[in-house]
């Protein structure tokens, strides 16, 4: 394509990049700000002077802080890690990926990379700095107050690790089940032009529009008393659904199903029907054709849909807060619990620290799957 | 595809939706035209409760429910027709407000003021979300190749962040002397209270929703821009079309299906607006339809809830969504007929 | 670690080492309770006895009725207050505790028992009320006397801006919904009002109701204009950051306003009794405690009872003296508890324990904001609230 005709005038470039810069600040600022707050004592965190929040004088005098050299080295290391994640990691993953299972190898690769990064940032760096700081004089004296006590309180005293594990169980369960069930249905709907299929899609759309609070409040009594009304079917083995992660998984999968089947249906529609028809001519059943022809080419769309399922399950508050008990509570309702009637300012900063903590996995997720989101959507998941 | 194969493919999905969505929906419909009440008796009881200095005893006439032989509360269910719906929309007050031509009187009826806000919220944020999303998509598409990755990453943040936490983080920036309010006060040199009047709260809710959802529109549009047919663009250039004309006549028509898709999703989600009301504690000034449902559903201090009115209000919300979705869906239907 | 965690750890360490040699628990027990610090302490002690699973959930009241209706009950015991006890007692879900108290509860204070028709249904652990907290330094600078009535309070508030120390003279938990309604309930009781006629029809649209609304409007002018989003935590923070000079606040926050780790004015805030309306102190007394499920085995109930007693043992209370206004033995009221005790020594009444007030409280909660924002006048507001109450009580079968 002739690039000369597309070359942009300077004014347009400045305008467009200026707008982009403005948007990036708007997008990142609130999140960056709560991250700053989470490292300060309550007195600093809720100060109305922004500079006191950033530099945290109360935190510095009472607890300690970071020196210039800490900040510089920390930023450099973090920058390098992110850069490597974008530049180097995709190549490595592709290299070690056996026959097109990108999803799994990305999970493994991304997980390992995150782990190594964490060790570098949390263990190695502080150790090095502990040696450097006393030697460097003025560069080594702390200028910004910082405390990790809220993170310690959240993760150690309040046992947030258990909530983290629960979140992982529920989220991975929802993603797996939702995709399995949804892929089948999406494919079936894409390859059928019956009236039933059309109305099914319309009804699904209406279902998606339902206010969730009503649905969820309707479940509660049945979930709690399920041991009684399931007894005729299961006998003494009848389970109490309330508080069971797998029951929550089922509910979230169902709530998410309308969106999933719409996304996947449009995606499958863009895979030419001739492909599976050819396979059927060769003697495959519908399922055989699906497994041999469709499954190998469906991953871009499935990964994108899976990401949306992940977001829904990971971020859900309404369902998980009402239907899970303390032992199986996921992270979002656990944080909401920290803002209770008797909340103190320290509790609030702890809740902020927890909120920042649960955002971190989402960061990694987007960092790793960014390309897949765009390419999956490009491949057709939004064409219907 | 044969009916049977179709059924096997779609079966598990339909089963889950029927069990967890359709069945509760039917029960909501049933509940909205019935009222279930415990059967009460009046008894005199002596109650002693702890004071700080000693027990406080009193004899009270108490209303308490009768229990059946298995120890459960005895209830009776009666069919009330549309009474619960009438209790929600309050037709007498509506009539008098219309007769007096008083907007203020109309807005003092909770359902109608909730409907007003929900509709304005849905319709006002729609073009903002689409427009902002498109602008970001175009700008990202135009920018240097090497910064695209980080920019897309940052742009997606507001969308992926847990909604409850996103709303809280924005609230902290503004509430009391939150730093943005303090900044505004410093800049305009006057005292500002963002949570003290309806319009500032509404404004913050619109801004939050656009901040939260525009990235989704952006990423969808951006994906769409990757598939723009280069031949068509080049043909337009040869025809001497300006940058604006290329956008208007080639790119936007190409993105039109995505606009419909985003519109559908946005109408559904915005019509259910709820998190904003909670996150910004807006209920004193503005309420939404789902908030109204939630309020009926909320137990009062003694454990009772207004299930019938909550169900009626939920059904009314659904009817509203169905009407709103009608327009874009008609288009989808026509296209299906056409193809 | 926060001081509270140190105390908590201390209590748990003690439970392991000395005092609770006799609290060893072998029967599995599950508890559900609110998430107050005091419950954290008590469930912490219970956990030290073994075989206890505790769920601390501020929304526990949404679950307990259904959870205790199940047979066997999903939990062995729950925390309870004046208002959450009503549906539990109505549905007959609680076990009368008199026999268990006779065998295991000799160390309890008789003042802790909630008795209905002579049967003990729950055991209170601590009490709560609302009272005046003021900045001693500002008051002595300006020579203002400590107010005892709401009128004096307003008069004092009008003098405070002269000191030029604080942004607003007062703070008040007037967040739309439960809090705003609660302010009305307290003031209406303070004026000697009766919410209901003999047949349980509402009677708030009268002179007393209008007086209360006018006073609330007057108070609003002395507060941060964002008062309709300010809950107790917000007011506590205003106090801690030195933005207000006084507040009528929950007694359970008395510790936090003087906590040096959170408050920049610690040591300057003094507690005094709740303020009077024209009839009595416009504060209500709340109790918070434990009750045991009916649908569980006798062994489980006995184990639960022993745990409750252990969680309120004298040394636990002594180790956590300032975390709540304990009703159990061993509590020594400190400076933080003074306001609460003065309020109780006055004529403040308990928050009513009946179904009608629940419905009324909800109607007030959604109806009062229209008056505060100026959308409706006082009479229209009260009339609409009465109508909302009637419609709600009819749907719930409370009114014919």
Query: Token digits for B142?
Result: 């135009």
Which residue of C2, C71, C241 is in closest CB contact with A346? C2
Which residue, C293, C321, C340, sits at the end of a domain?
Answer: C340
Under 8 Å CB pairs connecting chains A and B tally to 244
Residues C331 and C346 in one domain: no
Of A124, A96, A125, nearest to A110 (Cα)? A96
The answer to whether position B310 is within a domain reads yes
B216-226 per-position pLDDT tens digit: 999 888 888 88
The residues that bridge with B78 in the sheet, in sequence order, are: B35
Listed by number, the residues of chain B in 15-54 with a beta carbon closer than 8 Å to a beta carbon of chain C are 35, 37-40, 45-54
Closest Cα in chain A to B32: A214
The answer to whether position C359 is within a domain reads no
- Residues of A with CB below 8 A from C74's CB? 224, 240, 242
Using the predicted structure, report yes or no on whether residue C2 has a pLDDT greater than 60.
no
How many C-beta neighbours within 10 Å does residue B57 have?
11
Closest Cα in chain C to A225: C70
Best of A25, A30, A89, A250 to mutate (most B CBs within 10 Å, chain B): A30
Q: Give me the residue label for tokens 């869906």.
A: B329
Whether A206 sits inside 8 A of B138 (CB atoms) is: no
Of A380, A376, A363, nearest to A86 (Cα)? A363
The answer to whether position C310 is within a domain reads yes
For residues C329 and C314, give the distance between their C-alpha atoms in angstroms, rounded to a whole number.
Answer: 6
- Residues of B with CB below 8 A from A268's CB? none
The answer to whether position C357 is within a domain reads no
Whether B24 sits inside 8 A of A13 (CB atoms) is: no
Residues C247 and C108 in one domain: no
Query: Token digits for B32?
Result: 């909205």
Which residue of C243, C289, C369 is in closest CB contact with B284? C369
> A124 burial class (0-12, 13-18, 19+ CB within 10 angstroms)?
exposed
CB proximity B306 to C under 8 Å = yes
The answer to whether position C385 is within a domain reads no
Predicted confidence at residue B185, as pLDDT, reads 80
The residue count for chain C: 400
Whether B303 sits inside 8 A of C113 (CB atoms) is: no
Q: Give me the residue label for tokens 């549906």.
A: C87
The answer to whether position C369 is within a domain reads no
Whether C259 sits inside 8 A of A344 (CB atoms) is: yes
Residues in Cβ contact with A310 at an 8 Å cutoff, skipping those fewer than 6 apart = A171, A174, A175, A365
The residues that bridge with C134 in the sheet, in sequence order, are: C246, C270
Whether B297 sits inside 8 A of A214 (CB atoms) is: yes
What are the structural domains, with CATH classification, of chain A? 62-147 (no CATH), 160-381 (1.10.3720.10)
Which residue of B13, B179, B322 is in closest CB contact with A206? B322
Residues C310 and C210 in one domain: no
Q: Are strands B34-38 and C113-116 parallel, antiparallel or unpaired?
A: unpaired
- Residues of A with CB below 8 A from C233's CB? 339, 343-345, 348
Which residue of A149, A221, A326 is in closest CB contact with C55? A326
Q: Which chains touch B (3 or more CB pairs under 8 A)?
A: A, C
pTM for this entry: 0.82
For residues A321 and A163, give the distance between their C-alpha atoms in angstroms, rounded to a whole number.
Answer: 12
The alpha carbon of residue B110 is apart from the nearest alpha carbon of chain C, in Å, by 9
Q: What is the mean pLDDT of residues B145-149?
A: 79
Whether C114 sits inside 8 A of B194 (CB atoms) is: no
ω into B68 cis (within 30 of 0): no
Whether B52 sits inside 8 A of C327 (CB atoms) is: yes
Q: Is A91 helix (H, G, I), strand (E, B) or coil?
A: helix
For residues B174 and B184, give the distance between their C-alpha atoms in angstroms, rounded to a whole number.
Answer: 10
- Residues of A with CB below 8 A from C59's CB? 321-322
Residues in Cβ contact with C340 at an 8 Å cutoff, skipping those fewer than 6 apart = B52, C127, C128, C129, C131, C251, C254, C271, C325, C333
Using the predicted structure, report yes or no on whether residue C198 has a pLDDT greater than 60.
yes
Q: Is A132 helix (H, G, I), strand (E, B) or coil?
A: helix
CB proximity A30 to B under 8 Å = yes
DSSP for C297-342, written as a single string: -HHHHHHHHHHHHHHT-HHHHHHTGGGSEE-STT----GGGHHHHH
E-strand spans in chain B?
34-38, 40-50, 55-65, 75-79
The answer to whether position B318 is within a domain reads yes
The alpha carbon of residue C336 is apart from the nearest alpha carbon of chain A, in Å, by 16
The alpha carbon of residue C112 is apart from the nearest alpha carbon of chain B, in Å, by 6
- Residues of C with CB below 8 A from B309's CB? 395
DSSP state letter for A147: -
Query: Token digits for B195?
Result: 């949570």
Predicted confidence at residue C290, as pLDDT, reads 94
Residues C187 and C247 in one domain: yes
Q: Give me the residue label for tokens 């709401």.
A: C150
Whether B336 sits inside 8 A of A365 (CB atoms) is: no
**Structural domains counted in chain B:** 1
Structural domain of B273: 114-297+304-338
The alpha carbon of residue C58 is apart from the nearest alpha carbon of chain A, in Å, by 6
Listed by number, the residues of chain A in 40-59 with a beta carbon closer than 8 Å to a beta carbon of chain C are 41-43, 46
pLDDT confidence band for A342 (50 / 70 / 90): low
Q: Give me the residue label for tokens 């609290």.
A: C23
Which residue of A26, A196, A254 is in closest CB contact with B17? A254
Q: Percent of chain A having pLDDT more than 70?
A: 86
B182: domain CATH number is: 1.10.3720.10
The answer to whether position C375 is within a domain reads no
The answer to whether position B38 is within a domain reads no
CB proximity B299 to C under 8 Å = yes
The answer to whether position C368 is within a domain reads no
Q: Give me the residue label for tokens 């410093």.
A: B186
Using the predicted structure, report yes or no on whether residue A322 has a pLDDT greater than 90.
no
Residues C235 and C154 in one domain: yes
Using the predicted structure, report yes or no on whether residue A10 has a pLDDT greater than 50.
yes
The alpha carbon of residue B77 is apart from the nearest alpha carbon of chain A, in Å, by 17
Query: Token digits for C345?
Result: 């020594």
State which H helix or E strand residue C126 sits in.
strand C119-128
**Structural domains counted in chain C:** 2
Using the predicted structure, report yes or no on whether residue B129 has a pLDDT greater than 90.
yes
Closest Cα in chain B to A371: B149
DSSP state letter for C269: E
Residues C345 and C293 in one domain: no
Residues C143 and C115 in one domain: no
B20-67 per-position pLDDT tens digit: 888 888 888 888 888 888 888 888 888 888 877 778 888 877 778 888
For residues A71 and A82, give the distance between their C-alpha atoms in angstroms, rounded to a whole number.
Answer: 16
CB proximity C6 to A under 8 Å = no
Which residue, C328, C350, C372, sits at the end of a domain?
Answer: C350
C135-192 per-position pLDDT tens digit: 999 889 888 899 999 999 999 999 888 878 888 999 999 988 888 999 999 999 999 8
Best of C112, C128, C228 to mutate (most B CBs within 10 Å, chain B): C228
Predicted confidence at residue C22, as pLDDT, reads 67
Closest Cα in chain B to A373: B219
Residues C112 and C202 in one domain: no
Whether B73 sits inside 8 A of C369 (CB atoms) is: no
C369-393 per-position pLDDT tens digit: 889 988 888 999 999 999 989 988 8
Of B93, B309, B113, nearest to C380 (Cα)? B93
For residues C376 and B116, give the distance between their C-alpha atoms in angstroms, rounded to a whole number.
Answer: 18
The answer to whether position C396 is within a domain reads no
CB proximity A322 to B under 8 Å = no
Query: Token digits for B196?
Result: 């003290």
pLDDT confidence band for C1 (50 / 70 / 90): very low
Using the predicted structure, report yes or no on whether residue C68 has a pLDDT greater than 80.
yes
Q: Percent of chain C having pLDDT more than 70?
A: 94
Q: Which chains touch C (3 or more CB pairs under 8 A)?
A: A, B
For residues A163 and A156, give the distance between their C-alpha atoms in angstroms, rounded to a whole number.
Answer: 12
For residues A17 and A7, give the distance between their C-alpha atoms in angstroms, rounded to a whole number.
Answer: 15
Residues in Cβ contact with A319 at an 8 Å cutoff, skipping those fewer than 6 apart = A212, A216, A248, A251, A252, A255
The answer to whether position B257 is within a domain reads yes
Residues C134 and C274 in one domain: yes
Q: Percent of chain B having pLDDT more than 90?
A: 7
Which residue of B17, B162, B176 is in closest CB contact with A204? B17
Residues C142 and C271 in one domain: yes
Using the predicted structure, report yes or no on whether residue C8 has a pLDDT greater than 50.
no
The answer to whether position B92 is within a domain reads no
For residues C288 and C60, give the distance between their C-alpha atoms in angstroms, rounded to a whole number.
Answer: 13
Under 8 Å CB pairs connecting chains A and C tally to 78
The alpha carbon of residue C72 is apart from the nearest alpha carbon of chain A, in Å, by 10
Query: Which parts of B35-162 fold into alpha helices (H)?
Result: 83-89, 91-100, 103-107, 110-142, 145-160
Helix-then-strand count for chain A, H and E: 22, 2
The 3-state DSSP composition of chain A as helix, strand, coil percent (nearest 5) reads: 80, 0, 15
Q: Which chains touch A (3 or more CB pairs under 8 A)?
A: B, C
The alpha carbon of residue C370 is apart from the nearest alpha carbon of chain B, in Å, by 7
Whether A213 sits inside 8 A of B293 (CB atoms) is: yes
Mean per-residue pLDDT of chain B: 82
Q: Are strands C168-171 and B75-79 parallel, antiparallel or unpaired?
A: unpaired
Out of A157-171, B62-76, C334-348, least confident range: B62-76
The answer to whether position B63 is within a domain reads no
Residues C158 and C211 in one domain: yes
Residues C81 and C211 in one domain: no
For residues C32 and B10, give the distance between their C-alpha atoms in angstroms, rounded to a whole number.
Answer: 41
Using the predicted structure, report yes or no on whether residue B200 has a pLDDT greater than 90.
no
State which H helix or E strand residue C116 sits in.
strand C113-116
Q: Percent of chain B having pLDDT more than 70?
A: 96
Of A262, A221, A323, A203, nearest to B25 (Cα)? A203
Which residue of C53, C232, C233 is in closest CB contact with A327? C53
- Residues of B with CB below 8 A from C127's CB? 50-52
CB proximity B60 to C under 8 Å = yes
Structural domain of C141: 130-283+341-350
C214: domain CATH number is: 3.40.190.10
Q: Is C134 helix (H, G, I), strand (E, B) or coil?
A: strand
Of C394, C99, A75, C333, nearest to B80 (Cα)? C394
The alpha carbon of residue C30 is apart from the nearest alpha carbon of chain A, in Å, by 11
Instruction: State ipTM.
Output: 0.80
Using the predicted structure, report yes or no on whether residue C228 has a pLDDT greater than 70.
yes
Q: Are strands C269-272 and C130-135 parallel, antiparallel or unpaired?
A: antiparallel
For residues A26 and A379, give the distance between their C-alpha atoms in angstroms, rounded to a whole number.
Answer: 30
- Residues of B with CB below 8 A from C395's CB? 35, 37, 84, 87, 306, 308-309
Predicted confidence at residue C202, as pLDDT, reads 92
For residues A174 and A265, give the distance between their C-alpha atoms in angstroms, rounded to a whole number.
Answer: 19
């Amino acid at each position: 394509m002739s690039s000369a005709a597309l070359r942009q005038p300077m004014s347009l470039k400045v305008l467009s990049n200026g707008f982009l810069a403005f948007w990036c600040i708007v997008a990142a600022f609130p999140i960056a700000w709560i991250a700053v707050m989470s490292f300060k004592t309550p007195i600093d965190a809720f100060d109305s002077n922004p500079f006191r929040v950033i530099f945290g004088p109360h935190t510095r005098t009472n607890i300690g802080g970071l020196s210039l050299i800490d900040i510089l080295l920390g930023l450099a290391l973090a920058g390098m890690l992110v850069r490597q994640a974008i530049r180097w990691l995709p190549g490595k993953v592709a290299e070690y990926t056996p026959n097109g299972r990108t999803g799994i190898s990305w999970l493994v690769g991304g997980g390992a990379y995150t782990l190594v990064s964490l060790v570098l940032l949390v263990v190695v760096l502080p150790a090095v700095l502990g040696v450097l700081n006393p030697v460097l004089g003025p560069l080594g004296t702390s200028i910004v107050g910082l405390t990790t006590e809220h993170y310690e309180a959240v993760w150690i005293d309040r046992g947030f690790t258990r909530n983290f594990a629960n979140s992982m169980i529920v989220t991975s369960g929802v993603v797996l089940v939702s995709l399995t069930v949804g892929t089948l249905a999406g494919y079936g709907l894409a390859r059928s032009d019956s009236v039933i299929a059309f109305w099914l899609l319309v009804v699904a759309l209406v279902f998606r529009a339902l206010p969730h609070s009503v649905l969820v409040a309707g479940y509660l009594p049945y979930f709690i008393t399920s041991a009684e009304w399931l007894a005729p079917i299961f006998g003494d083995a009848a389970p109490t659904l309330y508080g069971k992660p797998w029951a929550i998984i089922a509910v979230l999968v169902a709530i998410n199903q309308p969106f999933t089947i719409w996304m996947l249906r449009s995606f499958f529609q863009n895979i030419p029907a001739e492909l599976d028809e050819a396979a059927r001519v060769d003697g495959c059943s519908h399922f055989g054709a699906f497994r041999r022809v469709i499954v190998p080419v469906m991953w871009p769309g499935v990964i994108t849909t899976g990401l949306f399922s992940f977001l829904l399950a990971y971020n859900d508050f309404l369902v998980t807060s009402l239907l899970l008990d303390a032992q199986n509570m996921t992270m979002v309702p656990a944080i909401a619990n920290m803002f209770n009637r008797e909340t103190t300012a320290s509790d609030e900063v702890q809740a902020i620290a927890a909120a920042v903590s649960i955002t971190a996995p989402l960061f990694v997720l987007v960092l790793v799957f960014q390309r897949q989101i765009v390419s999956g959507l490009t491949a057709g998941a939004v064409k219907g | 595809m044969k009916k049977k194969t179709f059924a096997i493919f779609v079966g598990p999905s339909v089963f889950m939706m029927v069990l967890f969505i359709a069945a509760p929906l039917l029960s909501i419909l049933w509940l909205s035209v019935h009222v279930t009440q415990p059967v009460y008796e009046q008894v005199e009881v002596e109650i002693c409760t702890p004071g700080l200095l000693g027990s406080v005893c009193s004899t009270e006439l108490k209303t308490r429910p009768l229990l059946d032989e298995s120890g459960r509360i005895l209830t009776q269910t009666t069919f009330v027709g549309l009474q619960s719906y009438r209790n929600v929309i309050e037709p007498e007050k509506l009539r008098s407000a219309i007769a007096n031509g008083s907007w203020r009187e109309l807005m003092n009826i909770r359902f109608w003021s909730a409907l007003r806000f929900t509709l304005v919220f849905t319709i006002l944020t729609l073009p903002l979300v689409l427009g902002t999303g498109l602008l970001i998509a175009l700008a990202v598409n135009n920018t240097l190749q090497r910064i695209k990755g980080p920019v897309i990453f940052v742009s997606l943040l507001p969308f992926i962040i847990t909604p409850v936490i996103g709303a809280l983080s924005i609230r902290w920036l503004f509430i009391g002397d939150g730093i943005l309010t303090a900044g505004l006060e410093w800049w305009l040199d006057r005292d500002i209270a963002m949570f003290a009047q309806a319009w500032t709260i509404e404004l913050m809710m619109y801004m939050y929703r656009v901040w939260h959802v525009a990235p989704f529109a952006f990423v969808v549009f951006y994906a769409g821009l990757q598939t723009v047919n280069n031949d068509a663009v080049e043909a337009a250039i040869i025809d001497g079309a300006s940058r604006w004309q290329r956008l208007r006549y080639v790119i936007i028509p190409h993105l039109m299906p995505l606009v419909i898709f985003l519109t559908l999703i946005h109408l559904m989600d915005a019509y259910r607006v709820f998190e904003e009301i909670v996150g910004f504690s807006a209920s004193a000034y503005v309420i939404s339809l789902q908030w109204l449902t939630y309020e009926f559903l909320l137990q009062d201090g003694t454990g009772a809830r207004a299930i019938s009115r909550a169900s009626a209000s939920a059904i009314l919300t659904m009817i509203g969504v169905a009407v709103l979705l009608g327009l874009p869906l008609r288009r989808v239907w026509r296209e299906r007929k056409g193809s | 670690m926060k001081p509270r965690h140190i105390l908590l750890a201390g209590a748990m360490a003690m439970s392991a080492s000395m005092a609770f040699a006799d609290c060893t628990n072998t029967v599995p027990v599950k508890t559900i309770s609110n998430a107050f610090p005091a419950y954290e302490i008590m469930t912490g002690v219970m956990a030290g006895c073994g075989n206890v699973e505790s769920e601390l959930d501020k929304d526990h009241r949404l679950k307990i009725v259904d959870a205790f209706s199940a047979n066997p009950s999903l939990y062995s015991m729950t925390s309870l207050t004046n208002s959450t006890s009503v549906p539990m007692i109505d549905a007959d879900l609680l076990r009368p505790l008199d026999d268990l108290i006779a065998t295991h509860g000799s160390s309890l204070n008789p003042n802790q028992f909630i008795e209905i028709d002579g049967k003990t249904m729950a055991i209170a652990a601590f009490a709560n009320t609302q009272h005046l907290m003021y900045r001693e330094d500002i008051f002595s600078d300006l020579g203002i006397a400590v107010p005892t009535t709401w009128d004096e309070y307003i008069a004092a508030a009008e003098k405070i801006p002269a000191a030029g120390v604080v942004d607003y003279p007062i703070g008040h938990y007037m967040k739309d919904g439960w809090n705003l309604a609660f302010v009305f309930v307290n003031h209406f009781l303070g004026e000697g009002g009766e919410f209901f006629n003999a047949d349980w029809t509402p009677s708030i649209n009268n002179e007393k109701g209008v007086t209360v609304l006018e006073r609330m409007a007057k108070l609003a002018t002395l507060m941060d204009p964002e008062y309709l989003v300010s809950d107790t935590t917000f007011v506590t923070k205003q106090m801690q950051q030195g933005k207000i000079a006084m507040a009528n606040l929950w007694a359970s926050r008395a510790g936090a306003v003087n906590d040096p780790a959170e408050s920049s004015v610690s040591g300057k805030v003094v507690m005094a009794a709740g303020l009077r309306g024209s009839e009595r102190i416009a504060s209500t007394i709340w109790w918070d405690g434990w009750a045991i499920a009916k649908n569980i085995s006798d062994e489980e109930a006995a184990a639960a009872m022993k745990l409750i007693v252990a969680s309120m043992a004298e040394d636990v209370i002594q180790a956590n003296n300032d975390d709540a206004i304990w009703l159990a033995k061993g509590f020594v009221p400190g400076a933080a508890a003074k306001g609460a005790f003065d309020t109780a020594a006055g004529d403040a009444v308990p928050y009513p324990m009946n179904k009608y007030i629940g419905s009324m409280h909800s109607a007030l909660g959604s109806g009062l904001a229209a008056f505060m924002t100026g959308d409706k006048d006082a009479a229209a507001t009260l009339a609409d609230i009465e109508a909302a109450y009637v419609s709600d009580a009819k749907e719930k079968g409370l009114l014919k």
